[in-house]
Amino acid sequence: MYYVYVLRSLKNNRLYTGSTNNLERRIFEHNRGQSKYTKSTAPFKLVYKEQYESKSEAYNRELFLKTGKGREFLDSIINKRA
């Protein structure tokens, strides 16, 4: 299984979107500062995830969520939960 995930920085409240085949490990790495792009904005909270059968499906969804329409979708989903 592959996952697309969205983390919220508890430091600056910004969102980070990524994909992985091991969600628990990846969140742990983000929170430990082991990711180049999120090192300075840890800690993080998982706010959204989706599961896919293939790496390519997950990656394509990650790319979409990083577009304007994808960010609009995330805003509508995440703000409904808040």
List the chain domain ranges: 2-81
Read off the tokens for 63.
């790319």
Q: Please identify every stretch of the chain with a pLDDT value under 50, giving residue numbers as ranges.
A: none
User: How many residues does this entry show for the chain?
Assistant: 82
Give the per-residue pLDDT at 35. 87
Give the per-residue pLDDT at 81. 62
Structural fold of domain 2-81: GIY-YIG endonuclease (3.40.1440)
